[in-house]
A = this chain, B = another copy of it.
Amino acid sequence: MSDTVKYVLAEDRIPKAWYNIAADLPQPPPPVLHPGTGQPVGPDDLAPLFPMALIGQEVSTEREIEIPGPVRDVYRLWRPTPLYRARGLERALETPAKIYYKYEGVSPAGSHKPNTSVAQAFYNKEEGTARLATETGAGQWGSALAFAGALFGLEIDVYMVRVSFEQKPYRKALMEAYGARCVASPSEETATGRAILAKDPTSTGSLGIAISEAVEVAAQNDDTKYSLGSVLNHVLLHQTVIGREAIEQMEIAGDYPDIVVGCTGGGSNFAGSVFPFLGRQLRDGQNVRIIAAEPAACPSLTRGRYAYDFGDTSHLTPLVKMHTLGSQFVPSGIHAGGLRYHGMSPMVSHLKELGLIEARAYRQGECFAAGVQFAKAEGIVPAPEPMHAVKAVIDEALVCKEEGVARTILFNLCGHGHFDMQAYTDYLAGTLVDEELADSVLAEGFAGLPPIAAQ
């Protein structure tokens, strides 16, 4: 039987400001460098790619950044999102732990991604951008930006990694239903794409290549800007509505987390969930353990090198200091497409270096087992990405059981799995890749780091 507990917030409790952790850091993260000069980049270097409002947010140290009214208006389509107590899962695990989860799958795109796509579309529209170019892997980000583009009247061009473009036509259909254009990458539309296709006409593409194509298009067209779905400070900032709402909801529950868990790919859903809690710790000493859960097939935080590296394959982006597997590293075809990025948000990497967060890597099979256990106990089918968080939560809850301690654990269920049923099909059929990386594979990736990485 179910005894669901849902903590809802009234609509006027949608946060009025994003939380910027840069204001509370004990030391700032290393600067972003221009790849040509090796010097820190300035706003002018970024102006061809982003509107000034987002560049300002990228480098801001203001603690609170007001959310514009039209962005909050769109947030109201699905926000505030619910926070649940996972009583069914607690019972299934026979744990004394109290498990809570924030659920972002109620958004029209089915994930947390619209929290930033809507903001990015708004600021671009404000500054006269006609078109946004972006990349997408499995398609979550592309569809979230397509959704925002439809509402704000922007053209959206999505460069979708070719292997996903061919294997996952449904995300493309979703983007097109919203009126976006979705192109297989590498494409004939860019110099990057043409060069790669000239060398290898059958290239299946990669996220790094798709980023290069979108950046190139934005750099070369005055009316076009670039949009990224994770990694950058302003993207993480926009996601903090998740953690801010969660803090209020935990207050309603009369509880506060001992542990907060999120899955990490580029870092945005993780940051959005945990930064507001981390901010309290940094300001008020209200301590909380923070755990990042990542795939063993793409273990940037647990096995990557903390080094300056490019964000893309073709080296069109600035250099950022982050945990990286090397910009030429191509992870195996795990279903958690949103976590298949060679690097990590520089801000999340910095926090890891400061010892403020822990990280763990999990294999695909154990994540799916956790995801299915969650679905049966709680009734919500998670996407493959947040299954990593579910796995970490279950592990922690079992530690509580062993130790007989009733810790409070919170995690972000950042999306539903309704678009990922092929993954469930593969899992139930026992045909999942379940890879852990050999040192030699890692060494190959690190060999591709730029010389400046030695810094």
Would you call A74 and B151 a contact (CB within 8 A)? no
Judge whether A22 is part of the interface by a CB distance below 8 angstroms: no
The smallest beta-carbon distance between A150 and chain B, in angstroms, is 5
Q: Let me know if A106 is at the binding interface, CB within 8 A.
A: yes
B375/A421 in contact, CB under 8 A: no
* Cβ-defined partner of A177 (8 Å) among B147, B152, B372: B372
Interface centre among A70, A106, A379 (most CB of B within 10 A): A379
**Copies assembled:** 2
28 A-B residue pairs with CB within 8 Å: A1-B125, A2-B70, A2-B151, A6-B76, A8-B11, A74-B379, A77-B84, A77-B379, A108-B379, A147-B379, A150-B375, A150-B376, A150-B377, A151-B379, A170-B425, A172-B425, A173-B421, A173-B428, A174-B421, A176-B428, A177-B371, A177-B372, A177-B375, A177-B417, A178-B379, A179-B376, A416-B418, A419-B421
Determine whether A110 belongs to the interface, using a CB cutoff of 8 Å to chain B. yes
Closest to A110 in B: B418
List the B residue with the shortest CB-CB distance to A75.
B4
* Alpha-carbon gap, A77 to B88, bound state (A): 12
In the bound complex, residues from chain B placing their C-beta under 8 Å from that of A2 are: 70, 73-74, 77, 151-152
A416 proximity list for chain B (CB < 8 A) = 108, 418
The residues of B that contact A177 with a CB separation of less than 8 Å are 371-372, 375-376, 381, 417, 424, 428
CB distance from A380 to the nearest CB of B (A): 5
Chain B residues, Cβ within 8 Å of A379:
74, 77, 108, 147, 150-151, 178
Q: Which 10 A-B pairs have the closest CB atoms?
A: A170-B421, A173-B424, A418-B418, A173-B425, A173-B421, A150-B376, A2-B74, A2-B151, A108-B379, A108-B380
A177-B176 Cα distance, complex, nearest whole Å: 29
A371: B residues at CB distance < 8 A: 177
Chain B CB within 8 A of A56 CB: no
Question: Which of chain B's residues have a CB closer than 8 A to the CB of A108?
Answer: 379-381, 416
Tell me, yes or no, whether A43 is within 8 Å of chain B by CB: no
Asked whether, in the complex, the Cβ of A425 is within 8 Å of the Cβ of B169, the reply is: yes
Chain A stretch 117-150: residues in CB contact (< 8 A) with chain B: 125, 147, 150
A220 at the interface (CB under 8 A from B): no
Looking at A125, A170, A380, the one whose CB has the most chain B CB atoms below 10 A away is A170
Against B, the Cβ 8 Å flags (1 = close, 0 = not) of A76-107 are 11000000100010000000000000000010
A421 to B139, CA, bound (A): 13
For residues 1 through 39 of chain A, which have their beta carbon under 8 Å from a beta carbon of chain B? Answer: 1-6, 8, 10-11
